[in-house]
A and B are shown apart, each in its own frame.
Chain A
């Protein structure tokens, strides 16, 4: 493929990349900014802790949920966070398998994002349990009561899906990290770093035999991770779709949820890419071309999510079922119409500017569009949950949902739960895959020489 243009500037050297990227954890360049960000994130995390203590003391009544809207922020944010997590695995696994070189500069922090987003998602169903200290009842263990968990319930599937997803993502992330930890170990001069990277690198020495087995294991795990992503978010959407509630009982839900998840996740990847690039001066590795590609992916997944919106309307109208049509009308004009139209506006209006190349290649524009998508997708999950529940079949069970202070504080708190470990990860491990970037640089240089 000689007509392919380079995605990395080829004037840099391999040694330069290794020094630059290992230099971020070893000689942290932006100590003060990091501390300020960390203080902000810790404040949010503290808010989460207070909210959780309050929740555990007084129960889920402190939230705005009640019959009929008995699921709201807890599951809404669970779906939202899990969706954000999915882009990380898609970038690292799907694009590894399809040989898209541009992933190399993005996969590490995208995977890191996945890990912590899944943690944020995972705590929500537990918080929502009412008696969260009995969460272990979900596990099949020989209890003295002789009761086993109910494997025919989608709520039981949840715990298996999320724990599997978290474990496999963690294993995949760490496997990809081992050679880079070895690179950091070899550059480290301070004793503490030498010990830290020496132990975490597991004694990796880059032997040809090791690389051979490593590559095979890495690729096969990636091949497993792609259907895993699809299955996990399909499973989440089945929580809705297997119910009878109008607006949920729809066959479009699994693909609609998976694509929406990728859409919001790629938006967060763009936010992180633009931020890290300007923080650490990584313009030579996360280039305008990378932003360009991210913009295109965002546009594509956004349009596919738009198809889901259209199909939802079609589904309801085509079914001709009264309650479905009523829910559709409630979405357009009901008490929560602002969530529907908010989702449409935030998700799809700024997105259309991505058709222009200059918009895709400008960091701050891509950042603003991505933030808009993240808000839009949050509103979409709100819309799906609340507009279906607040008016179902019986007029006698119609009611409203208003989030309370504790709903909001728990939600903003989880942003702290995401940011604190993410910032620590930035501080400790190379945030861009060193060896994969070098491999790409080598290939590009070779192509340049041989035409």
Chain B
């Protein structure tokens, strides 16, 4: 056994080729797959059977936290330092609406964006696929399919041969 592998990477010239190859790989029994593309490809997540992300739940959590923080803050401030201005109510919900609304949006948006980065494991400046010779084109005009070395069916020579058979422009092994 040579150095440990991350997986096998195949390069395609168009999203259609990538989708077709991914379907073939699923049909051939590969389960631990990932794709690298210059823009989001519609339908790819269904073929890869990726779970639906839970970003909206994170956002909902942020919403509740933001609204709660804003309301508690404003009620407390007016409780701790009550100012009677022309006999107007101390706990004026309508006057609290604007700040509550703003903080709801602020907390929710930040929660989702931080949550997205967190779930994606970013920032992580280096990653095995970056060592692949042609990977720099994944941000330009090439579409990559990666079979992980942890896949049950993975075997360096067979997987490479399989990927070449799907019409890939190039295939290579990525060291871990």
Contacts and interface: CB of A to CB of B under 8 A. Distances in A.
Given A203-B127, A439-B40, A148 B98 contact: no
| Residue among A160, A212, A436 with most chain B CB within 10 A | A212
A177 interface: no
Given A152-B85, A228-B105, A186 B37 contact: no
Nearest to B110: A171
A152 B115 CA distance: 33
B98 A235 contact: yes
B126 interface: yes
Interface residues of B, number: 60
Nearest to A145: B81
A208 B130 contact: no
B140 A224 contact: no
B141 A15 contact: yes
A209 B50 CA distance: 7
A202 interface: yes
Contact of A438 (B39, B96, B98, B125): B39
B48 interface: yes
A83 B119 CA distance: 35
B149 interface: no
Nearest to B138: A206
Contacts of A152: 78, 85, 88, 92, 95-96
Given A15-B140, A205-B127, A213 B120 contact: yes
A208 B120 contact: no
A205 to B, nearest CB: 6
A211 interface: yes
Interface string A186-212: 110000000000110011111111111
A220 B34 contact: no
B52 to A, nearest CB: 8
B120 to A, nearest CB: 5
Interface stretch (B53-61, B150-158, B161-169): B53-61
Interface in A427-451: 435-436, 438-439, 442
Contacts of A202: 117, 122-125
Interface stretch (A35-43, A161-169, A327-335, A369-377): A161-169
A207 B110 contact: no
> For B40, B44, B96, which residue has the most chain A Cβ atoms within 10 angstroms?
B40
Most A C-beta atoms less than 10 A away, residue of B15, B105, B126: B105
19 contacts: A18-B38, A157-B99, A164-B102, A164-B106, A167-B110, A171-B113, A186-B138, A187-B136, A202-B123, A202-B125, A203-B122, A206-B38, A208-B34, A208-B37, A213-B120, A215-B40, A216-B55, A220-B56, A227-B105
Interface of A: 13-15, 18-19, 140, 146-152, 154, 156-157, 160-161, 164, 167-168, 171-172, 175, 179, 182-183, 185-187, 198-199, 202-217, 220-221, 224-225, 227-228, 231-232, 235, 238, 435-436, 438-439, 442
Interface of B: 15, 34-41, 44-45, 48, 50, 53, 55-56, 59, 73-74, 77-78, 80-81, 83, 85, 88, 92, 95-96, 98-99, 101-103, 105-106, 108-110, 112-113, 115-117, 119-120, 122-127, 129-130, 136-141
